[in-house]
């Protein structure tokens, strides 16, 4: 499928404006992506034609709203290659998905002296829930190291899987480094020892096709807002047999079958994990985002972004005093860097004056910063709507930073 970048940009109303009097150069999609018109339209349409609470009403509006909501579940199922729509749990985002697994599945199997294995490149939301769990259970958090390029040290990961390991959790793609992990291989290593695997797919799904059955993992988590959908919605995919065996997470309406003061019984999956009224329009918007991406063709997106990443990598490497942090052989569209003698926040502020939005800071990955001996980095992250001219603007902006700090 060919990729028409100008047509794609026209789908995103945000690019119709200027910021700081300059055309908007948006290089922070790893934090949150912009939204195409079909996503906004789908939510507008739901609210203006079919909105009502779901799974409850016997009237037509509620039926329509429920149908739109459940149609999104089926879209997500197809999008990630899940076997069954019952395996798709709607949550608030990746963070909540990981907390759900930590508080239910992992809580029930991790005890005193056990271990949970993560990697050194994780986002805080794939560190802290496991840390809390380990503290509560008297278990130990083990961390597989990364090398100087930001690639996972596979042999060390393998060595850290022992009979004490009760769960492994790692990112598909690192938000701070862009490293793409060999998920299938890692899952095989873990499963060989009977260790279930959760994959944090927050930074993977916007950039590449994902098939959870092919990856072989047990849980996969991602957020709608990084996938060009609305914020406040995310997905936990889990194997049906796990979800069925897991105790509930949050409790209240919808997740129950019967309630009495003596005892309550639980609804079927996935509803058992969807207590309370969900973000109905958000889920519908996520479905539209998936339709949009599928319409472009994820393989075409991946190919386009790879060329753009190569272009950007070469352009940044040519800047004197710029150190790229995260140079693993397999990378997605993230460029983290430090500029000699200039604090990342100053870089970000000067770039902002040029209309260029980048992220500066530790990117919720403080252990990564510590591993590379920097307090923070500048992060330019690319998405399907970026073009070479955005990279050129970044390079010019960095020249401007140099002039200011000469
Ligand atoms: N995991 C990774 C790799 C991320 O990049 C992020 C967000 O930046 C998260 C988890 C958390 O996602 P959310 O804030 O949408 O829950």
Q: What is the CATH classification number for the domain harbouring 131?
A: 3.40.640.10
For the CA of 231, the nearest atom of ligand 1: 15
H/E segment holding residue 308: helix 298-317
Q: Are 269 and 359 within one domain? A: no
Which range of residues forms the domain containing residue 351?
5-31+297-398
For the segment 21-37, what is each residue's pLDDT rounded down to a tens digit? 999 999 999 999 999 99
Same domain, 155 and 207: yes
Q: How many domains does the chain have?
A: 2
Give me the mean pLDDT over the 128-157 stretch.
98
Considering 249, 275, 294, which residue would you say is the last residue of a domain?
294
360 & 247 share domain = no
Confidence label for 56 from pLDDT (cuts 50, 70 and 90): confident
Mutate to test the pocket of ligand 1, among 99, 152, 223, 224 (most ligand atoms within 8 A of CB): 223
Q: Does 209 lie in the same domain as 150?
A: yes
Q: What is the CATH number of the domain that holds 10?
A: 3.90.1150.10
What pLDDT score does 139 carry? 98
36 assigned to some structural domain: no
Cα(95) to centroid of ligand 1, in Å? 6
Average pLDDT of the chain, as a whole number = 97
Question: How far is residue 82's CA from residue 213's CA, in Å, rounded to a whole number?
Answer: 6
In this prediction, residue 265 carries a pLDDT of: 94
Atom of ligand 1 nearest to the CA of 92: 16
Q: Are 387 and 275 found together in one domain?
A: no
- 364 is known as an active-site residue: yes
**257 Cα to the center of ligand 1, angstroms:** 32
How far is residue 301's CA from residue 5's CA, in Å, rounded to a whole number?
A: 10
Residues 204 and 337 in one domain: no
| Same domain, yes or no: 156 and 229 | yes
Percent of the chain with pLDDT over 70: 100
Cα dihedral: 215, 216, 218, 222 (round 10): 10
Per-residue model confidence (pLDDT) at position 2 = 78
How many A from CA of 156 to the centre of ligand 1? 25
Closest ligand 1 atom to Cα of 93: 16
225 Cα: distance to centroid of ligand 1 (angstroms):
10
Is 109 inside a domain boundary?
Answer: yes
Between the CA of 381 and the centroid of ligand 1 the distance, in Å, is 14
Say if 403 falls within a structural domain: no
Residue among 96, 123, 199 whose CB has most ligand 1 atoms within 8 A, to mutate? 123
Same domain, 313 and 378: yes
Query: Beta strands 264-266 and 322-325: pairing type?
Result: unpaired
**Is residue 256 one of the residues assigned to a domain?**
yes
Nearest CA to ligand 1 atom 14: 95
Q: For residues 161 and 117, what is the distance between their CA atoms, to the nearest angstrom?
A: 7
Cα–Cα distance list, 153 to 200, 215, 341, 370 (Å): 18, 19, 31, 17
Q: What is the spatial distance between Cα 205 and Cα 124, in angstroms, rounded to a whole number?
A: 19
Lowest mean pLDDT among 35-49, 178-192, 358-372: 358-372
Q: Is residue 404 part of a domain?
A: no
- Judgement on whether residues 52 and 138 belong to the same structural domain of the protein: yes
Best mutation site among 125, 198, 207, 289 for ligand 1 pocket (most ligand atoms within 8 Å of CB): 125
Question: Where a domain ends, among 261, 294, 327?
Answer: 294
What pTM was computed for the model? 0.98
- pLDDT of 1 reads 59
- Separation between Cα atoms, residue 270 and residue 246, nearest integer Å: 11
Q: Each residue of 216-232: pLDDT tens digit?
A: 999 999 999 999 999 99
DSSP character for 17? Answer: S
Which of 52, 85, 209, 364 does the annotation list as catalytic? 364
406 — pLDDT class (breaks 50, 70, 90): confident
Q: How far is the CA of 124 from the centre of ligand 1 (A)?
A: 8
pLDDT on residue 57: 80
Instruction: Provide residues with CB under 6 Å of ligand 1.
Output: 93-95, 123, 125-126, 171, 175, 200, 202-203, 223, 225, 364
Domain-ending residue, one of 251, 274, 294? 294
pLDDT tens sequence across 83-142: 999 999 999 999 999 999 999 999 999 999 999 999 999 999 999 999 999 999 999 999
Q: Other CB atoms closer than 10 Å to residue 10's CB: what's the count?
A: 14
Verify that 60 and 130 share a domain, yes or no: yes
From 173, 202, 219, the mutation candidate for ligand 1 (largest count of ligand atoms within 8 A of CB) is: 202
DSSP string, 214-241: HHT-SEEEEESGGGTS-SS-EEEEE-HH
Number of the ligand 1 atom closest to the C-alpha atom of 223: 15
25 inside domain: yes
Rounded Cα distance, 46 and 53, in Å: 11
Of the listed ranges 24-38, 54-68, 222-236, 298-312, the one predicted with least confidence: 54-68
107 inside domain = yes
Q: Are residues 247 and 308 in the same domain?
A: no
Instruction: Say how many Å lie between the CA of residue 59 and the centre of ligand 1.
Output: 38
Q: Say if 262 falls within a structural domain.
A: yes
In this structure, the answer to whether residues 220 and 178 fall within a common structural domain is: yes
């Amino acid at each position: 499928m060919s990729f028409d970048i100008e047509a794609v940009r026209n789908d995103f109303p945000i690019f119709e404006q200027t910021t700081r009097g300059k055309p908007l150069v948006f290089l922070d999609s790893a934090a949150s992506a912009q939204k195409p018109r079909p996503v906004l339209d789908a939510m507008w349409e739901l609210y203006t034609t079919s909105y009502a609470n779901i799974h409850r009403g016997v009237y037509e509006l509620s039926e329509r709203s429920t149908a739109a909501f459940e149609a999104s579940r089926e879209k997500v199922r197809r999008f990630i290659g899940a076997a069954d729509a019952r395996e798709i749990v709607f949550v608030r985002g990746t963070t909540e998905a990981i907390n759900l697994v930590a508080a239910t599945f992992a809580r029930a199997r991790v005890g005193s002296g056990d271990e949970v294995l993560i990697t050194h490149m994780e986002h805080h939301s794939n560190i802290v829930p496991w840390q809390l769990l380990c503290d509560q259970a008297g278990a130990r958090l083990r961390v597989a190291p990364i090398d100087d390029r930001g690639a996972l040290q596979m042999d060390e990961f393998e060595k850290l899987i022992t009979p004490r390991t009760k769960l492994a959790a790692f990112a598909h793609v690192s938000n701070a480094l862009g490293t793409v992990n060999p998920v299938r291989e890692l899952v095989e290593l873990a499963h060989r020892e009977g260790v279930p695997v959760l994959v944090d797919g927050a930074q993977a799904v916007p950039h590449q096709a994902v098939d959870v059955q092919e990856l072989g993992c047990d849980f996969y988590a991602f957020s709608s807002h990084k996938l060009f959908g609305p914020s406040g919605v995310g997905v936990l995919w889990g194997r049906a047999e796990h979800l069925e065996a897991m105790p509930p997470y949050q409790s209240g309406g919808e997740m129950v079958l019967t309630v009495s003061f003596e005892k309550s019984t639980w609804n079927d999956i996935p509803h058992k994990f969807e207590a309370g009224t969900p973000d109905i329009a958000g889920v519908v918007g996520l479905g539209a985002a998936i339709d949009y991406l599928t319409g472009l063709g994820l393989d075409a997106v991946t190919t386009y972004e790879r060329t753009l990443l190569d272009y950007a990598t070469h352009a940044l490497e040519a800047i004197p005093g710029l150190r790229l942090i995260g140079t693993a052989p397999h990378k997605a569209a993230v460029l983290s860097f430090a500029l000699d003698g200039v604090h990342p926040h100053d870089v970000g502020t000067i770039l902002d004056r040029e209309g260029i939005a980048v992220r500066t800071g530790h990117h919720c990955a403080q252990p990564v910063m510590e591993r590379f001996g920097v307090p923070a980095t500048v992060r330019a992250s690319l998405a399907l709507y970026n073009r070479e001219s955005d990279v050129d603007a970044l390079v010019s902006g960095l020249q401007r930073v140099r002039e200011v700090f000469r």
